[in-house]
Structures are given as C-alpha cells and as structure tokens.
Amino acid sequence: MPYRRKRSSDTWHWCRNCSNWPTSDFVEQSSKPTTGELDNECQAKVAAGSCSR
C-alpha cells in the first residue's frame, strides 16, 4: 500500500479517500514510514473500516 505526503509536510497518508490525500507535489513510498507523523483521518478511517487503499 502506498504512503504519501506532500513534499512540504511530515504527515503521511495511506487512504485514497482521505480529504488530504496528496495528488500533486508528493513523495510516495511503499513501506510504512519510520519518520514523520501518520494522519489522524487515515487512522480513523482504518478503525472505522472505511479506508480506500
């Protein structure tokens, strides 16, 4: 599953239906990030079972 963050941000997103899912000027990696923060909205979507990956 891809993790994305805007180049100017330290917050990583992994749910494509997140309101802050980066679509331009982003960094993407396939493994879970070891630095930065994990997005709260993505975490909530995973917990609710509504994360689109």
Collapsing DSSP to helix, strand or coil, 9 comes out as: coil
pLDDT class of 1 with cuts at 50, 70, 90: confident
Cα–Cα distance, 26 to 48 (Å, whole number): 26
On whether residue 27 sits in a domain, the answer given is yes
Number of domain units in the chain: 1
On whether residue 53 sits in a domain, the answer given is no
On whether residue 35 sits in a domain, the answer given is yes
The helix or strand, by DSSP H or E, that contains position 6, with its residue range, turns out to be: strand 3-6
Give tens-digit pLDDT for 3-41: 999 999 999 999 999 999 999 999 999 999 999 999 999
Written as six digits, the tokens of 26 are 């982003």
29 lies in which domain range? 3-48
Cα–Cα distance, 50 to 46 (Å, whole number): 6
pTM (2 d.p.): 0.94
Sign of CA dihedral 22, 25, 30, 32: negative
On whether residue 25 sits in a domain, the answer given is yes
